[in-house]
Chain A
């Protein structure tokens, strides 16, 4: 726990300054988690504020301060999930207005302004986003919490209010799907590089 139980208790009883302190302690960590869950830095603060807004109006439902962190993660997961659903709807309608060529040109223009380090990061993000595109939003969030955020199965149990075995099965299946997508992407890259070297051999 990053804060004392007493501070949570005070925030729960309606002390705004205590709530303010709680937010200040947790906001950076929560914003980081949200950034990795939703993958869009420009919307992270909005979603983060939504999490703390929900926290403010639901603190009275918190049974004990001991379960505060799983509770906060649950709110984060729900807000991220809501955002992803909204985003999916918006993206579908937006993408249908653009031709494939326009989308590629926009991507290329955006890529041209990045530094090498940014490009490397973008590549990693893109690669992971592609792999996670093979699983549902729920499984994506679960995988992220386990593999990227490093939450233990015990912690996930409290966040999801589900039993450990069920979570293990879900995680295993999601991981298998991601591995399969990874293999497919790797073999596709292998074929493309073979073709390129063959082409170079013909022209050389």
Chain B
């Protein structure tokens, strides 16, 4: 069973680890290209709103193509069921043993 001192000790070790971690990662100086690159990205997104639409259209197109593919695969894998037997066939199958019984009686 862990006593109170041990528990407090662990908490303190963890707290000092957090502060060591903070000093191991000081705030980095931004590079000289930080602002130019940022504005380049902003301009790229601002100037070309069509690209967003194009991106959306591309996703829709890919989705449709995937659906068509899935349908095509599932249709090709579908087993063709034989045509269900009609009423006469069903009746015949059910009373097949009757014929044998009548023949035996004769």
Binding-face segment, A45-53, A61-69, A192-200: A45-53
Q: Which of under 10, 10 to 19, 20 to 34, or 35 or more describes the interface residues of B?
A: 20 to 34
Could you say which of A20, A53, A57, A120 has the most chain B C-beta atoms within 10 Å of its C-beta?
A: A53
Q: Which residues of A contact B45 (CB under 8 A)?
A: 53, 57
Interface residues in chain B, defined as those with a beta carbon under 8 Å from any beta carbon in chain A: 10-11, 13-15, 17-18, 20-22, 24-31, 34-35, 37-38, 41-42, 45
Q: Which residues of B contact A175 (CB under 8 A)?
A: 14
Residue of B10, B27, B37, B41 touching A179 (CB-CB under 8 A): B10
Once the chains are docked, how many angstroms separate the CA of A121 from the CA of B23? Answer: 8
Chain A: CB-nearest residue to B37: A49
Given A57-B45, A124-B17, CB of A27 within 8 Å of CB of B30: yes
Q: In the assembled complex, how far is the CB of residue A119 from the closest CB belonging to chain B, in whole angstroms?
A: 11
Q: Which 9 A-B pairs have the closest CB atoms?
A: A32-B27, A121-B24, A147-B18, A128-B21, A124-B24, A36-B25, A49-B38, A124-B20, A148-B22
7 A-B pairs, CB-CB below 8 angstroms?
A28-B27, A39-B25, A45-B31, A49-B37, A124-B17, A147-B15, A179-B14
